[in-house]
Structure formats: C-alpha cells, structure tokens
Amino acid sequence: MTLADRHDPAPVRETEVVFEGRVWDVRRDVVDLPTGPVVRDYVQHTGAVAIVALDDADRVLLIRQYRHPIRTHEWELPAGLLDVPGEPPEVTASRELWEEADLRAERWWRLGEHHSSPGGLTERMHVFLARGLTVVPEDERHVRTDEEAGLKTRWVPLDEVADAILAGHLGNATLIVSVLMARELRSRGWAGLRPVESLD
C-alpha cells in the first residue's frame, strides 16, 4: 500500500470571513468532526510557487529578504504568490524567476508540493526545479519595488546549503524542504522528477 495523505474534507456547518486583510483573509469554520463540532480559524491563502534554480556547477540561487513577522533577513528561494487568476503554477514560477532573479530557464521539472502550515493556513506551495539558466538582458529585466527592491542574491553549492540547513543555520521551511528534496533526488540520478512540458 502506498503511503499517501488522504484528502477527505470534513463537513463545514458554518463559515465566515472574520478578518479581511490586504493580501489574505482569516476565515472561521464550524467543522463536524467524528468527535463533535469544532471551531477553526485559519488564513485563506492563494497558494505559492518556489524555484530551485540550479546552475551547471550544482549551485542554487538564494535570495535574502527581510521578513517582518519573524524580524529576520532570511535566505530563501525565488518564490511568489499564485495571485494571477487562472495562471498555472509553472507559468507563475517562470515569471517569478524572471522578476526576482533576472533569470530564464530552458528546462523545468516539478520538484514537489507541500503545505506550509496546515494547522492554520491553506497555502499549498508548488516547488519547481529550473535548469539551463540564462541571465535576462538589462533592458528586459523587471523593475523591483518595495521589499523586493532590496533583494540580495547569492549562488551557493547545493551541498553547502543542505549542510547549513542540517546545522540549523537556515530556517525557511520551503528552502529546507526543497533543497533536501533536490539533494536526495540528485543522489538518485534525478529519478522521479515530473517534467513540465511547456511554459507560456
């Protein structure tokens, strides 16, 4: 029997938006569980993508960005919200790689998916592996504003990032999951990667 999560929504007796935010809302549901009804508050999230951009020397592109809720300048992967209605995750990933890293990729694979904090947030993170990287010409680059204007980038060997994760020096969940997944798949000769056939 395959080990897998089971998607089986519990009946929702009542639901309401209790807070409307600038980016996300907070929803309150009354849910019928086998043990009886419970009330659950959670952030209704659009979902997001992240990209492990890996060059020919097996270096990963990292981005350092200030994250105010945790008061930390975190090393992360290029990433972004699924905030364009109807846009497939792989197209969002390609756009975010261009916007945040001034890169394009010739080859794409689906590395995996995970839920960032399933006890309080609906976010589903789609992670892609991008290879065959080229730098976007200066006149075709995205103009970054707000917190993205201060992004710092760094190319780091995949093994060095994994070692920093295991030593407890890096705390971004998507970075941790994605880099360790990429290193494990590389050790298996990349067997199991799901290709992305085309990008708009």
75 has pLDDT over 70: yes
- Report if residue 194 sits inside a domain: no
187 has pLDDT over 50: yes
Q: Is 184 a catalytic residue?
A: no
Q: What sections of the chain are H helices per DSSP? A: 89-101, 158-166, 173-187
Each residue's pLDDT tens digit, 112-149:
999 999 999 999 999 999 999 999 877 777 666 666 65
- Report if residue 5 sits inside a domain: no
pLDDT of 1:
82
- Report if residue 196 sits inside a domain: no
108 and 162 belong to one structural domain: yes
d(CA 167, CA 64): 18
Tokens coding 180: 């360790």
pLDDT of 200:
42
Q: Cα dist. 196→25, 46, 187, 199, 200 in Å?
A: 31, 21, 21, 8, 11
What's the whole-number mean pLDDT along residues 33-39?
Answer: 95
Taking each helix axis from N to C end, the angle separating 173-187 and 158-166, rounded to the nearest 10 degrees, works out to 130
- Report if residue 62 sits inside a domain: yes
Each residue's pLDDT tens digit, 16-28:
999 999 989 999 9
Tell me which residue of 45, 61, 43, 130 sits closest to 100, measured CA to CA: 61
- Report if residue 162 sits inside a domain: yes
37 and 71 belong to one structural domain: no
Q: pTM for this structure? A: 0.90
Q: In what order do the strands lie in the sheet with 124-135?
A: 79-81, 48-53, 124-135, 103-115, 194-195
143 and 171 belong to one structural domain: yes
Q: What CATH number has the domain bearing residue 64?
A: 3.90.79.10
72 and 25 belong to one structural domain: no
∠ Cα 138 142 145 (to 5°): 125
83 and 155 belong to one structural domain: yes
Provide the number of structural domains found in the chain. Answer: 2
CB atoms within 10 A of CB 46: 14
- Kindly state the DSSP code that residue 105 receives in the 8-state scheme: E
91 and 24 belong to one structural domain: no
105 and 182 belong to one structural domain: yes
19 and 96 belong to one structural domain: no
pLDDT of 195:
87
Tokens coding 33: 């569980």
102 and 175 belong to one structural domain: yes
pLDDT of 146:
66
37 and 102 belong to one structural domain: no
- Kindly state the DSSP code that residue 179 receives in the 8-state scheme: H
38 and 57 belong to one structural domain: no
User: Domain containing 38: what range?
Assistant: 12-43
114 and 150 belong to one structural domain: yes
Which residue out of 87, 90, 96, 148 is catalytically annotated?
Answer: 148
